[in-house]
Structure 1
């Protein structure tokens, strides 16, 4: 039976080569996209899934709110873990974690040095939550005493390449030239994908033996993302109960937070499953995945598969009349309806299987399209991804069923008596199937036009954010951050002076962060004016007298900071001047703002507002302090580059040369400010690229289907075309006749998709505090573009049919 099905299918494929090609290519594109997207989605959604009782593991995070706007920090104040162990109930495990970056020196006959390595301070409770196989040492004792260190297997081989694991135990590893540790354990690398892939574990008790670190452990007043806390809840413990207890502990140790006004920290619980997806808190050094993008990828794969299936259904049902006699003869010879359905489902299966084989070849190339925003660990390798083979099998069966079931149902209904009288495809059936094809064609062009509209708008918004005046200069500025942990602080001054002497440099500022960044630092401040008291959060940056000059930040009132200013002078932005009640910026000059009970600082100048973060966020109250002497950032304005010149490249090369002379143990890194701004919109640029890719493929698949329908329509109306030409119809009239119905379907799709696209895009663009307009031409351009594409596709077949010799047309039947 199967052999007969195979021979019949191959015979049908040879008879309808072009239609088979269109079906195979349409399905192959959709399936290859599905395979690639499965790899990407499976990679991200399997993060942190290999830990026992993972659903009961949480990271404690700190949230702030000021004037209704939330702020997020992945860390907690240093004393909280110990206090939670002693005072909170319902917790099975409390695991503190403190992560930093250190230079490493290996004490051996031939000492080895390694540049900054990510290091965590932890105790044995960490391995209670996130177990690893112990290759040497013991989880019970390896992190009990100060100055002990546990290494991962790869890190151990990196530090001690010629030694076995048991030989590494007892060796010395020195961090930052002062933290001398002894290796007490070696653990295997974590299984599966995880954000917790740490490799240097220094015993948590070591921090108590270091005065500067001990301060972090006893201060309730500060929060840093370096200080992390993971907990495992008891089986019957509710998250809300733990949250209440932790916040009660905070208020007990910071009673001033009970006062109204200002912004208050609040502890919340982040599930382990959320760690890899929450950009507010981050996931250590692992790039955070975006669930919206992943769901968009799934939608793209589903739509592309749907387009391929629609092509198959349309073309198969359109050809139904051509295969009617075959069905009639089969039924006359004794075939039942089930056998005919099986025949056509087997044909669909063969087409799908061929498409899957082609998609396996295409998938690695499509994977490269995503190379900019996926992990290098994602590769198309069937041997390494057994789940991919299972997915391919399921996908083949599902696509075969979805594409083939309805056509098989339609074809198997034909009655032998009517078939052999050439009446099988008339009346109600013909009308019903025509409406189905029209509906499916409209669906195709709804999907294609939605992708066009979304792509145009996202591109428009990206152009807007990259070219909008954000209140500062962006071009020709280089940012360098000097090492913060060097002993000889004077080297920073030396390096700064050397940079100033470079001939390509126009102006240099010593300061902290760049004007616009997703990171932030702030203070809770109070302004008092008689009876009026205004508590607020004030963002802060450090910069010398050249800071606002380098970035062309406009000074509205007062004066700039000066080298002779003490730490009590500051500049504030216009936003803060308005917040404390001054309509005119000049009226705020000379006023004092309280930073705590004893620290008062004077406003000496007011500068124009600029965006301190991406356009997702509104402008906030901000100050610039003249504490540049304690800052590591260099903000370097370059002179204009001549056409075709290499002055900027020469400048950065000279900066690197000076760096290596003064900071040989640290990597030289620099960035252009305009590129840093562009990186703030990486997610939007990725979505734009994804939509462009999806738009191109959806248009291609839709046009393939449109071409196939046009070929079938013109073929079925060959005699009609010949008669019309004999009666005097012109080429343009015949082209119009053949094209009108399909063009109307494209226009109907445009009318349906426009309000849907507007709603979706309006929701997306609200993520930006400052955004472009959703212009009418976005929809008009999409509609006209799709219409022209459809007309161009149809013209190949309709013009060919219209100019054909009518004598040949009338002989064709």
Structure 2
């Protein structure tokens, strides 16, 4: 019986190839999107699950400061005093690109971590070369990943080879490990021994027991015993911090499985995902699938008149309602199965597009996993059954006598149902169009917002870490460049807007705050074209004694004037605040401009060379920079970035969000158009006699088209009314992520409605034109 039903269903599908092709194509595209999104979500939610004991590994955090920056000495204190900790390791990332030399060859490595021996045990790393039980033989040992080893040494075993790190440390390769998994939020190409003080890259200046000292900031990962409750353990430790007190105000734990998507701490220095985007993508996948199902139902019901005759004949020969019901369900499952197969081909073919949209590759081979295959089979059955239920109920209940006599008519309930489906489809489409317009408007707003300094024609060169005997090269480069008129201003700094790695406590009573600091020279103000709004400019002898603050700093501390105002750093006498500069954007517009301090320090280790280039002189200026760099620093690769490019990069996440919304909005509209096309065909077939009578009585073609399109315009209007408040709420919520945001203008909603209406009318107008231009004699004879 099942075999007969399958054969009969296939025959029915092939009998009307046009509708079958439209159904399968729309289904396949929709399912391919759902599969691509599902593969991406599987990858994102699998982050940091690869270590052997991933469920028991946590990162130590300071809950009071919401910080992952913990002094390295806290690790041993925890292991010695709390048996709940089975193991722990140190991890610190070098945030600046680093230069290494192998013989006469120079290389730049941007992914470097300083770790201890226990790191390799906690994170289940696999060694290709070296001794896993003693990865670092001494403090000058280094470990490479497989890909970096091939880049530096080819296919030969690099054990025992030497590399010169930043022209100062001669390191010996003692191990090569496999590359970190693609779903790891922690990764590096070069791993250094954290026992070496030269590789304690990050520190801050704090006062412990009223004595100034350095705080070496690491990420501490710990393996907690089985069945240990994190909350109970943290309460136990916090009840009596003891020797931990100088390093942690209040201990907390962040499971490593939560790091990628749920890490809001300061200083994590690990890769982070976008949980909001994942939720959005999951919702879009679900909505797209619903639209595809709705589209199938509408197109199937649109064929009702054509299929009524076959259904009536089957009933006349004894087919029961349940037999016909099963037939239509099998038919929809077959369509669903074919669509799923085609969707896999589409995912493979469109994988470059999806990779561009998601910002990371999708791994199609995951579809071959047994569990995933079983899920796909279940989805085929579920989607097929859901898609077929409504048509099966409608088409299987028709009275055979009415069908054969052609007196079967569509009830109001069926009409309302189909109209409701169309309204739903276009409600979703309008919401997506509004969302896309708002996101694009916000991106344009933040990119064109005045950052407080002139970023045009301003370039930043990264100065490498130079050994003592080569420090003068930086000033030599500056002196050479100043000989050229197209370099208008040149300033050396440690830190720049967009990359400030140094902060110090203010030391001001009742409002102590960790303040980001830029270490700058005297040319900084003119190079960045900042304005001094209060106070005085620099004078001779000010170096190392004074600082300037921004307006947010001045307002935050409720200053009325600058008299006797000091910024207390680790120096006992502090720095005199001599001026207030205008607020300028030194981080993204997601955050309000916060207090900032400009410290003028002499003979500092500068890592950034900022150059303002004259307009229309960019090619000559860049050529000169490259030539002078090669002449003075040939052993170091030139790295630079324009500040306007930096502003663009700050909003990559939003641009990807806009790209995602745009792609799926187009797909949702396309699927909705398939549905409305089916309904247009259905409507014109239902009103064939009416159209013929109107034409015989002198109705013009445009009047017939207007009559047929009027109903569709009404549905779009209803969808628009429903979509506007939903889109307003969603986008208003999204804009709250920005400290500086655009307005939800009325024209955005109006434009979205007009776009949806225009697309809908273009879709149905051709079918309406065909119906309106048909010979009325044929129409009446057909009826």
In the superposition, the TM-score normalised over structure 2's length comes to 0.90
Cross-structure match for 2:391: 407
- The separation in 2 between residues aligned to 1:243 and 1:539, in whole angstroms, is 30
Residue 750 of structure 1: which of 720, 726, 748 is its match?
A: 720
Per the alignment, residue 93 of structure 1 pairs with: 87
Alignment map for 1:334-733 (pairs within 5 Å) = 334-372=318-356, 374=358, 377-378=361-362, 380=364, 389=373, 392-425=376-409, 430-487=411-468, 488-515=470-497, 517=498, 519=500, 521-527=502-508, 534-562=511-539, 564-583=541-560, 587-588=561-562, 591-596=565-570, 598-627=572-601, 629-630=603-604, 631-641=606-616, 647-733=617-703
Match of 2:24 in 1: 24
Q: Does the C-alpha gap of structure 1 residues 119 and 453 become closer, same or farther in structure 2, counting only changes over 3 Å?
A: closer
In 2, distance between residues paired with 1:311 and 1:484? 62
SS of alignment partner, residue 748 of structure 2 = helix
Judged with a 3 Å threshold, the aligned counterparts in structure 2 of structure 1 residues 521 and 162 are, in CA distance, closer, same or farther, namely closer
- The answer as to whether partners of 2:143 and 2:192 remain within 8 angstroms in 1 is yes
Q: Gaps (5+ residues) in structure 2?
A: none
Change (3 A) 1:690 1:197: same
Shift of 1:508: 1.2
Moved more, 796-805 or 686-695: 796-805
For residue 219 of structure 2, what is the aligned residue in structure 1?
A: 228
CA distance in 1, matches of 2:283, 2:199: 54
Tell me the secondary structure at the aligned position of residue 490 of structure 2: strand
Give yes or no for contact 2:69–2:268 (8 Å, CA) kept in 1.
Answer: no
Q: Which range moved further: 604-613 or 146-155?
A: 146-155
Q: The residue matched to 1:277 in structure 2 has which SS?
A: helix
Residue 119 of structure 1 deviates from its aligned partner by 4.1
State the match for 1:129 in structure 2.
122
- How far off its partner does 1:765 sit? 0.6
Find the aligned partners of 2:658 and 2:602 in 1 and give their Cα distance.
39
Alignment correspondent of 1:812:
782
Q: Measure how far apart 1:710 and its partner are.
A: 0.7
1:204 offset after TM fit, Å? Answer: 4.3
Q: Is residue 2:250 matched to residue 1:269?
A: no
1:502 Cα deviation after fit: 3.4
1:681 Cα deviation from its structure 2 partner: 1.1
On the 8 A contact 2:204/2:503 being kept in 1, the answer is no
Q: Aligned with 2:362: secondary structure?
A: coil
Deviation, 1:567, is 1.4
Native 8 Å contact 1:122 1:143 kept in 2 = no
Alignment check: 8 A CA contact 1:304 1:698 kept = yes
Please report how far the alpha carbon of residue 362 of structure 1 lies from its aligned counterpart in structure 2 after TM superposition.
Answer: 3.1
Are the counterparts in 1 of residues 464 and 636 from structure 2 also a CA contact under 8 Å?
A: yes
Instruction: Map 1:27-426 to 2 at 5 A.
Output: 27-62=27-62, 73-100=67-94, 103-104=99-100, 114-116=107-109, 118-143=111-136, 146-158=139-151, 160-161=153-154, 163=156, 172=162, 175-176=165-166, 178-190=168-180, 193-198=183-188, 200-207=190-197, 227-244=218-235, 252=243, 266-278=250-262, 280=264, 287-372=271-356, 374=358, 377-378=361-362, 380=364, 389=373, 392-425=376-409
**What CA distance in whole angstroms lies between the structure 1 residues aligned with 2:580 and 2:462?**
27
Q: Any idea what the Cα deviations from partners look like across 1:614-659, whole Å, max 9, x if unmatched? A: 1111121222111264222111111112xxxxx3133223212322
Deviations 1:298-325 (CA, angstroms, capped at 9, x unpaired): 2222222221211110121232343223
Classify 1:524/1:136 alpha carbon distance in 2 versus 1 (closer, same or farther; 3 Å): closer
1:740 and 1:228 mapped to 2: Cα distance?
A: 64
1:773-812 alignment, distance < 5 Å: 773-812=743-782
CA distance in 2, matches of 1:592, 1:751: 58
Q: Is the 8 A contact 1:150 1:201 kept in 2?
A: yes
> How big is each residue's C-alpha offset from its partner over 1:175-226, in whole Å with a ceiling of 9 and x where there is no partner?
445545555555444566323444544444444xx6988999999765566x
Structure 1 position 723, deviation (Å) = 0.9
Mean CA deviation greater in 497-506 or 782-791:
497-506
State the secondary structure of the residue aligned to 2:80: helix
Offset at 1:30? 0.7
Q: 1:521 to 1:251 in 2, by over 3 A?
A: farther
Contact 1:313–1:403 under 8 Å retained in 2: yes
**Partner residue, 1:68:** none
Give the whole-Å Cα distance in 2 for the aligned partners of 1:628 and 1:384: 62
Bigger mean CA offset, 756-765 vs 35-44: 35-44
Match for residue 739 of structure 1? 709
- Given that residues 166 and 467 in structure 2 are in contact (C-alpha distance below 8 angstroms), is that contact kept between their aligned partners in structure 1? no
Aligned residue for 2:635, secondary structure, equals coil
Contact residue 144 and residue 205 of structure 1 kept, 8 A: no
Q: Which digits, 9 at most, give the CA deviation of each residue in 1:351-398, with x for residues without a partner?
A: 333333443343245433344464555354578777765554444333
RMSD of aligned Cα (Å): 3.4
Report if aligned partners of 2:532, 2:580 keep a CA contact under 8 Å in 1: yes
Query: Counterparts of 1:793 and 1:291 in 2: how far apart (Å)?
Result: 36
Q: Is the Cα contact below 8 Å between 1:31 and 1:355 reproduced in 2?
A: yes
CA distance in 2, matches of 1:470, 1:331: 75
Runs (5+) with no aligned partner, structure 1: 66-71, 258-263, 642-646
1:9-20 matches, cutoff 5 A: 9-20=9-20
CA distance in 2, matches of 1:97, 1:736: 70
Counterparts of 2:429 and 2:345, CA distance in 1: 25
Distance 1:798 1:448 in 2: 22
- Cα distance in 2 for residues equivalent to 1:180 and 1:803: 85
* 8 Å contact kept, 2:167–2:466: no
Distance change >3 Å, CA 739–CA 491, structure 1 → 2: same
Q: Assess if the C-alpha contact under 8 Å between 2:543 and 2:602 holds in 1.
A: no
Q: How far has the Cα of 1:780 moved from its partner?
A: 1.5
Provide the C-alpha distance between the structure 2 equivalents of 1:21 and 1:761, rounded to a whole number of angstroms.
Answer: 37
How many residues are paired up?
A: 775
The 8 Å contact of residues 312 and 398 in structure 2, kept in 1 or not, is answered as: yes
TM-aligned CA distance change 1:686 to 1:606, over 3 Å: same
In 2, the alpha carbon distance for the partners of 1:283 and 1:195 equals 14
Q: Is the 8 A contact 1:195 1:276 kept in 2?
A: yes
Query: Cα gap change, 1:297/1:213 in structure 2, threshold over 3 Å: closer, same or farther?
Result: closer
